[in-house]
Amino acid sequence: MLKVENITKSFGNLKAVDGVSFEAKDGEVVGLLGPNGAGKTTTMRVITGFISPDEGNVEIDTVSIRNNPIQVQSKIGYLPENNPLYKEMLVSEMLEFSADMRNLTKSQRKDAIDFSVNASNIKDVYYKPINELSKGFKQRVGLAVALLHKPKTLVLDEPTEGLDPNQRSEIRTLIKNLSKDRTIIISTHVMQEVEAICDRALIINKGKMVADSNVKDLNKLVKGKSSINVDIEGNNVISNLHA
């Protein structure tokens, strides 16, 4: 289980994340939904330990990121929006290199690579240069890297951004298959993405979490509308969540 408790993060005078709290259970797909610049990526970077919160805490299976950051990071697979692959490498080389970075032993490595290749369905491109792959396959390779150490929590930042409809559908199917035995957090600014993948949606605007809803209830709220109005403690927030 992932537990996020009142995390806050500022950059100078900008409060990028302001008191965000939520929990995500094993086997649950939770979407962070909001416009660009809402604070979704900063929230994910705090959850994954890439940046430290000014306040608050993150726990995975009761392990605190403040007290045991390396242990928490070992439980998380992270695919950033920019998908930092070494494009001059073969896919096989990228996975071997990533296994080295994870300090996997020789015996662990074969099992880990076999698992991630099969889970992300990249067997057909395993010996191809990354720079020759379509963006959809590059996303799959990024997922394979994130899965190498068999994490129980996956954090995916805009995983289908820039993909064509077929590629988007394939990545969504992969994510749904992966969710059967792990917690998955995705960020998106597209309502369709939440409908296709998620069990719950957390709406974030200007660094604050303004709603936490299951997808069925959220659909009722936005049905027939191009925007959703959420009123929290007297502060009216309008987030344009275009499909």
Q: pLDDT of 44-56, one tens digit each?
A: 999 999 999 999 9
Same domain membership, residue 70 and residue 8: yes
Q: How far apart are CA 114 and CA 79, in angstroms?
A: 19
User: How much is the average pLDDT of 90-111?
Assistant: 94
pLDDT at 139 (0 to 100) = 95
- Residue 221 pLDDT greater than 50, yes or no: yes
Same domain membership, residue 100 and residue 30: no
Closest CA to 188 of 33, 43, 82: 33
**pLDDT tens digits along 135-150:** 999 999 999 999 999 9
**23 assigned to some structural domain:** yes
Same domain membership, residue 42 and residue 157: yes
Same domain membership, residue 55 and residue 42: yes
Single-letter residue type at 37: G
The pTM score is 0.88
> The domain that contains 187 carries what CATH number?
3.40.50.300
pLDDT at 233 (0 to 100) = 43
Q: How far apart are CA 112 and CA 70, in angstroms?
A: 19
pLDDT at 34 (0 to 100) = 92
pLDDT at 223 (0 to 100) = 63
Q: How far apart are CA 71 and CA 65, in angstroms?
A: 8
Same domain membership, residue 200 and residue 184: yes
Same domain membership, residue 183 and residue 133: no
Same domain membership, residue 110 and residue 17: no
- Residue 243 pLDDT greater than 70, yes or no: no
How many domains does the structure of the chain reveal? 2
- Residue 235 pLDDT greater than 50, yes or no: no
Same domain membership, residue 71 and residue 156: yes
- Residue 186 pLDDT greater than 50, yes or no: yes
Instruction: Take residue 145 and report the two structure tokens written for it.
Output: 């890297």
Task: Look up the domain containing 47 and give its range.
Answer: 1-75+152-161+179-219
Same domain membership, residue 60 and residue 21: yes
Q: Give me the numbers of helices (H) and strands (E) for the chain, helices first please.
A: 8, 12
pLDDT at 240 (0 to 100) = 46
User: How much is the average pLDDT of 174-183?
Assistant: 91
Q: How many CA atoms lie within 13 A of 41 on its CB side?
A: 11
pLDDT at 106 (0 to 100) = 87
The least confident of 13-22, 206-215, 225-234 is 225-234
The residues near 17 (Cβ < 8 Å, ≥ 6 apart) are: 7, 8, 9, 39, 42, 43, 46, 53, 207
**Strand 227-232, strand 235-240: pairing:** antiparallel
